[in-house]
Amino acid sequence: MVLKTFGWSFGVTAVGLAAAAFFWGWEAFVLVLMLSILEISLSFDNAVVNAGVLKKMNAFWQKIFLTIGILIAVFGMRLVFPVVIVAITAKVGPIEAVEVALDNPDRYEQLVTDAHPSIAAFGGMFLLMIFLDFIFDEREHKWIGWLERPLSRLGKVNGLSVCLALIVLLVVAVTIATGAHQHGGMHADKSGTVMLSGIAGLITYLIVGGLSGHFEDKLEEEEEREHEAEEAAKRAGKDPSMVGLAGKAAFFMFLYLEVLDASFSFDGVIGAFAITNHIFWMALGLGIGAMYVRSLTVYLVRQGTLDDYVYLEHGAHYAIGALAAILLITIKYEIHEVITGSIGVLLIATSFWSSVRRNRRLEAEGGGDDSGGGEGESKESEVTSGV
């Protein structure tokens, strides 16, 4: 089952890492490996969300999403989009960006370095909003209870995440951005550029979130109609399982999943810039991550149940928050890519281990669920507060 589902992902991983080592050496191998691990871990949340919606669709729409949808995610967002980002920020054509990366690596590095404040501000704000919206949301499970409980209560204030993100952007623009790093070791005042790019990142997040919410509302409406159709089928003595989500509901699901895929893909692309500026190393790591999105989605759908490692989502979002902070800091200060990649991997690995400990504790207590609040939630908080 595992080999059948993850076979292609394993194969792409082996080929990608081998290509990195063969063409660029062991440094590229290590960075692509770190980027791949980070992408695979961050893709887990995407796969869980995809599987939760995809399992309601009929076989035709499942196949459409797992073929056309993944092709869009792999080749559109993860391979083409990094080139577009560099082309826009460096003010060159996409073809020229690729040609410069191939024929004149020093010139390409100069373009990326000079464009880095724009990329970092745009991506840092986008990722920061994702982290803030997650940490301010009231959730059933809390990984670091002493921190997440008060923040979830603060999250009831409307627009708090946007206000806090704008405050962070203002502070970065008037402090860090005044001495932004440029090619050749020089520094320049990039306050205006950072402000504009950061606001653009915030607007982009709000648009993507708005589209996701719109499609989610449509999905709920269609599910209500679907439920009414099932009830009517039961009253008519027909098999309700024959009423499949194959019409508008499935179409809205497909659009909703594509928006979510684009959002998660964007996270990966922006996060990759915090680890490396090398366009081909990014493409390898992001491509490997996209393959695992598909494999994890298929695996979860075929298993029929979602994974019960409840803190992985927390670890992934804390990693996103760390990447956001690192991107904003690197506007002025250099941070080694290995450090950046290690922080994300460490956070996700810690959240996985916390999930394992929680599951073992629940099993020892008789298999009860501590997610419903009360005494169980208190015990969970005691365990996770020390993480």
pLDDT at 308: 67
Maximum C-alpha span of the chain: 77
The residue ranking higher by pLDDT, 300 or 152, is: 152
Percent of the chain with pLDDT over 90: 5
Distance CA 10, CA 6 (A): 6
Q: Give the integer Cα–Cα distance in Å for 322 and 316.
A: 10
**pLDDT greater at residue 249 or residue 359:** 359
H or E, element range at 188: strand 187-188
Q: How confident is the model at residue 304 (pLDDT cuts 50, 70, 90)?
A: low
Query: What would the pLDDT profile of 144-177 be if each residue is shown by its tens digit?
Result: 888 888 888 887 888 889 999 999 999 999 888 8
Average pLDDT over every residue of 113-125 = 83
pLDDT exceeds cutoff 80 at 197: yes
Return the structure tokens found at 383. Answer: 């365990």
The rounded mean pLDDT for the chain is 75
**178-to-63, 145, 166, 182, 338 alpha-carbon distances in Å:** 50, 37, 17, 12, 26
Q: pTM of the full predicted structure?
A: 0.70
Q: Which of 107-111, 175-179, 240-244 has the highest mean pLDDT?
A: 175-179
Q: Is 109 helix (H, G, I), strand (E, B) or coil?
A: helix
pLDDT of amino acid 88: 76
Could you tell me which residues come within 8 angstroms of residue 35 by beta carbon, excluding any fewer than 6 positions away?
272, 275, 276, 281, 282, 284, 285, 286, 289, 341
Confidence check: pLDDT of 272 > 60:
yes
The answer to whether residues 169 and 190 touch, using CB atoms and an 8 Å cutoff, is: no
> Buried (b) or exposed (e) across 194-206, using 16+ Cβ within 10 A?
bbebbbebbebbe
Q: Residue 145 and residue 142: Cα distance in Å, rounded?
A: 5
The per-residue DSSP string of 225-269 comes to: HHHHHHHHHHHTT--GGGS-B-SHHHHHHHHHHHHHHHHHHHHHH
Arithmetic mean of pLDDT, 275-288: 79
Q: Is the dihedral of CA 276, 279, 281, 286 positive or negative?
A: positive
pLDDT surpasses 60 at 271: yes
- The pLDDT assigned to 377 comes to 44
Q: Which residue would you say has higher pLDDT here, 262 or 131? A: 131
Mean pLDDT of 34-54: 69
Express each pLDDT in 308-347 by its tens digit: 677 877 887 888 888 888 888 888 887 776 677 678 778 8
User: Of the given ranges (286-295, 326-335, 369-378), which has the lowest mean pLDDT?
Assistant: 369-378
pLDDT of res. 382? 38
Structure tokens at 184: 């050749």
pLDDT per residue over 1-23, tens digit each?
A: 677 778 878 888 899 899 999 98
In this structure, what token pair is assigned to residue 19? Answer: 């290509």
CA distances (Å), origin 233, targets 223, 226, 230, 239, 248? 15, 10, 5, 7, 18
**Residue 181: pLDDT band by 50, 70, 90 thresholds?**
low
State residue 163's pLDDT score.
93
